[in-house]
A and B are shown apart, each in its own frame.
Chain A
Amino acid sequence: MDAFLRLENPTEAQRAYRRWTLLWLTTAFVLFAVVGLLGLLMRLNQARWLSLPPELFYAILTLHGLGMVGTWFVAGMAVLGQILQRYVNPSLRASQIAYFGTLIAVLLLLTATLIGRLGVGWYFLYPLPFYPSGVWPLWASWVFLAFLTIAGLSWTIWVVDYLRAIASRYRLSEALAWPVLFRGRELDVPPVILIATVSLVAGLIGLLAAVVLLVLYYLEGLGTGLRNDALLMKNLTFFFGHVLVNITMYLGVAGVYALYPGLSGKPPLKTKRYVAAAWNVALLLVLLAYFHHLYMDFAQPLWFQRLGQIASYLSSIPAAVVTIVTVLALTYGARGAWTPSRLFLFLGTMGWAIGGMAAVIDSTILVNFRFHNTLWVPGHFHTYFLMGVVLMLLGFGFRFVHELSGHEEPPARSLGWLVALGGYGFLAMFFYGGVLSVPRRYAAYPDEVASGATLAQLATVFVLLLLTGLIIYAWHYVRLLRQAWSSG
């Protein structure tokens, strides 16, 4: 049994770190289950099989969106920490601070949305938090800002600590593989260090944008008389939101780079020149792509818009091509067994390719004119999330408990089919909703887009399939948890 995650003679510190990774992943999976069921609830409501009051629907929408984005970001960070730990020394203390910060943040978010009925959507577009239209009380907006602040701060600490850990072993040029890139030299730096550095630096920049955004919110909210400009706030919001979501994708990809070769019976990957080039380009372009969220704001300068489309097209190509071809090449002729972890990493890469293309299509200004804020949008991001990162990280988690507990993985079959069929069926209804011009974020569909309700009905059926698959997954995972913990 290949054991990337299971070290031969782990030190006490390494064992402690593993336990925390296990705790992080388990926590994330529990959160996923809870907010995932909320997703089902929303679909049921849109299907007209349930009739939630709109304020509850929109509170749930907010909780589901932010809950999911946060959950998979921390799960990805935890996985990255576990991988980094082979090469450098991320601090356990930083991870613990992030953990408790995240827990407090989750409580605050639950309070603001479920008790306070705050419904601002996952990107809380300014100035909506200040215009509750009688639905949520003022305190809920403040609890929400506190949630953002605490989550932002604890995650910033975490990101900075990983960077510190990398910097204490590698030079910047090494971490970004510049000798390979510019001089074609062989370098003893694994690709995950490169991917980690790119993701973490971009992530830090995104989090700093959130800091600026929050400071502006506080300045206005505290009654200093300052009023903010809606366009600037929207830019900052999507700068931060897009980067964070994109980085989460990369964190999952780091898991693929680390695990997939071993699972396919191949040696670890080397940092080749094209890998170095692809990820350096990604660092540059990931910061510019967010402009595609503002195409329908004609007030945004024209060259921002064009830059947005160009960056969106180009940012997806290098990293995706390199990763996808690598995964395909590792698969072809590998003869490894299709265990759930290997299958999930494989399917996750495929989901990235499919969802990524849906995103590229929507990042075309001409197309965005017809798709912006229709169900096409949740369609594409659920694809690269649910069928991408989530599968990658679920795959990692599956591998993790099996290696730690010393068990062989079961065969993947029914699990794989249920997840793939359920997942893509659920997604297809979003995409087709976009084709039929059904708006996103509608608690109930008006007559013009009544087809949205039919699609939602079909979607729920697929969600149930997906759910069955996930329950099977959970059964395997939970069964080994105790053993993994004590050997961890």
Chain B
Amino acid sequence: MSSETAAPTEVIRVREVVTRFGDNLVHDRVSLSVRQGEIYGLMGGSGSGKSTLLREMILLLRPQSGSIRVLGKELDRIGRAEAAWLRRQWGVLFQSGALYSSLTVAENVAMKLREYTRLPAAVIDEIVRMKIRMVGLPDHAADLYPAELSGGMVKRASLARALAMDPRLLFLDEPTSGLDPIGAEAFDRLILELRDMLGLTVVMVTHDLDSIWTIVDRFAVLGDHRVIAEGTLEEVIHQPHSIIRQFFWGARGRLRSAHGQ
């Protein structure tokens, strides 16, 4: 499925990234790499700079120094045309969904297809409805406005929008936060299924231990402004760093880690 191949291709490579906001040092030489076809987790406490790193990968923010390479393009030397091309290769699910509130779900999903292709309206409409079903929303949700959706439906609609153009790369910022445990599990399963069906590479910010246990192939833990561990669950969980011990062996983690899998 994901990383059986002999030399897995690096889809994203982050090297020595330094980010600061004024005096606030967020990343101090952060490096990590994401391979083709995997679900990669970005973990860390609140404020550890997960969202910021994600925003740097999707060209919303520029790091002070260091390099980020996405799909073979060096982001700090990228031209307009290349940036435009890159932006069509990925879908992003923002932390709050960020659906356009004045458009219906169907219009939200159709937006990129309308702008970037000259497909007949009927075909776009079919694609949109197919994607809406694919993320597990009922058909009638297509004509609802974001204000009329529940939290879980917003996430799903927003995922449908991110998938509209069959991206190769999917960025998810805390996709399961704010969902109930059952909804969160269903959403996790959906992401796993979509990855397998569509051959996506997924980068997800999360501090949901359940997601780490169940769907994430490899992940990085951010803390103390740097990456304190990167790898599969088995590789990371027994590391002695205090943040990792707290994460997996603290009161909430212990139950999972003891009985997990």
Partners in one complex: no
